[in-house]
Structure 1
Amino acid sequence: MIFRFCVVFFGLSLTFSHFVQADSQDEYELLDRIGSGNSEAGKIKSREELCQGCHGEIGNSSSAEYPRLAGQYADYIIKQFRDFRSGARQHHVMNAVASSISDEDLTDIAAYFASRERVRAQQRKAIEVAEKIYSNGDMRRALIACSSCHGSSGQGSYAGEESVPTIGGQHKLYLREQLLKWRSGDRANSPGGVMNMVAKLLKDEEIEALAEYISSM
């Protein structure tokens, strides 16, 4: 798994007439994003299971405490949910919620949120320090560019069995919180621990700048 992730790190029948994802005009790319779930069923299930109460009706939550899920890769949503279920990732609400939803329902719910259009800012903010790190990294610190995995616009990527999450347009406060958790080790569920290694190289002001910059994508 670590080797497969490194390849990504360094290199990187439903109809969809009701669910068009702006990042994925190509049908096969859209299928990769949505996965095997039934997005129409997921719309109903996400409402019944109260997912929409925190994450928003179409996955664009208004509260920074809860991440935006619209346009996220379904398999990434499923992985995070299972990590909450197992305790590999901690959250005061999600650990309890995760134990009450079946894998079948989870697959459909993830497909629904993945099928929705992610939030896009009208204009990307010009933050020089963040732009340099995001686009080019810093080889003096062995800090790899964020875009190597997450794409030039934070759209994420998919390679075989694993996806790199969509982060563009995510809440600034949520992005900052996760980077701080990666750095401290409070969160440690990325493949091969790569996000912990990256975040430990970042200074406080760089985390703040990156969160601001990525949220404006």
Structure 2
Amino acid sequence: MKKLLIPLIVSLGFSGAVMAQGDAAAGEGKAAVCFGCHGPDGNSIGPTFPKLAGQHENYLTKQLKDIKTGVRPSPLMIGFAAGLSDQDMADLSAFFAKFDASKGPVADEALVAKGKEIYNAGIQSKGVAACAACHAPDGNGNGLANFPAVRGQYAMYVDGQLKAFRSGARANDPAKMMRDTAGKLSDADIAAVSAYIESM
């Protein structure tokens, strides 16, 4: 049984065993430079900056490492990530993970309803799996598998990231999971899912 379980865990992206243990208190002392964009509690000041509040520590750490190494291009973040040690990244991730993400407004009920349907059931005619399969029905993701929490994330940010995956501009997803999924979504599908995620 162990021989079957270990490859499964590895294939899901679990990497907690090799990551530094984060210290939220230490992270608070290092996070002041982050507040200008991401807010003092991880709920960003504007929709172009992702909310970090409530995100899984391992996922945040992976994104910082990917940005630092250029695996995930981010002209805005590279200057901040470049000087961070592995311990700095772990501490910052632990700090922001302890907060709750704020819920966004429901701007267009019909759009949110369409997004909810796609999120929970996928789009069978296009071969699109339900978002909930990886990101959970409540949007809390799966920390063990390194699938991020998405609930309450800004629609504008989600829209941009899905389009970046669709175009291949963002390619730091394991096994091309997000690129394959986003590649089957239209602009209208993406707008709907993004609206629903923000409303969660």
Which amino acid is 2:53 matched to? A
Shift of residue 201 of structure 1? 0.6
What is the TM-score normalised by the length of structure 1?
A: 0.79
- What does residue 118 of structure 1 align with? 101
- What does residue 60 of structure 1 align with? 43
Shift of residue 102 of structure 1? 1.2
Return 5+ residue gaps in structure 2 as ranges.
1-5, 14-19
Change in CA separation of 1:210 and 1:2 when aligned onto 2, cut-off 3 Å: farther
Return 5+ residue gaps in structure 1 as ranges.
9-34
Change in CA separation of 1:118 and 1:68 when aligned onto 2, cut-off 3 Å: same
In 2, distance between residues paired with 1:193 and 1:129? 25
- What does residue 157 of structure 1 align with? 142
Shift of residue 209 of structure 1? 0.9
Q: Could you say what secondary structure the match of 1:201 adopts? A: coil
Structural RMSD (CA): 2.3
Q: Could you say what secondary structure the match of 1:193 adopts? A: helix
Matches within 5 A, 1:64-143: 64-121=47-104, 125=109, 127-143=112-128
Which amino acid is 1:145 matched to? A
In 2, distance between residues paired with 1:98 and 1:3? 31
- What does residue 176 of structure 2 align with? 193
Q: Could you say what secondary structure the match of 1:164 adopts? A: coil
Q: Could you say what secondary structure the match of 2:143 adopts? A: strand
In 2, distance between residues paired with 1:122 and 1:130? 14
CA contact under 8 A between 1:70 and 1:116: conserved in structure 2?
yes
CA contact under 8 A between 2:121 and 2:130: conserved in structure 1?
yes
Which amino acid is 2:173 matched to? S
In 2, distance between residues paired with 1:153 and 1:121? 14
Q: Check if 1:45 corresponds to 2:30.
A: yes
Q: Deviations over 1:102-121 (max 9, x none)?
A: 11111111000001111124
Q: Deviations over 1:129-183 (max 9, x none)?
A: 2122100112232210000011112111123xx3210111011110000011011
CA contact under 8 A between 1:5 and 1:191: conserved in structure 2?
no
Shift of residue 54 of structure 1? 1.3
Greater shift, 165-174 or 121-130, is seen at 121-130
Q: Check if 1:210 corresponds to 2:193.
A: yes
Q: Deviations over 1:29-53 (max 9, x none)?
A: xxxxxx8311111111111xx0112
CA contact under 8 A between 2:113 and 2:196: conserved in structure 1?
no
CA contact under 8 A between 2:59 and 2:143: conserved in structure 1?
no
- What does residue 129 of structure 2 align with? 144
What is the TM-score normalised by the length of structure 2?
A: 0.86
Consecutive aligned runs of 4 or more in structure 1 exceeding 6 Å deviation: 5-8
- What does residue 21 of structure 1 align with? none
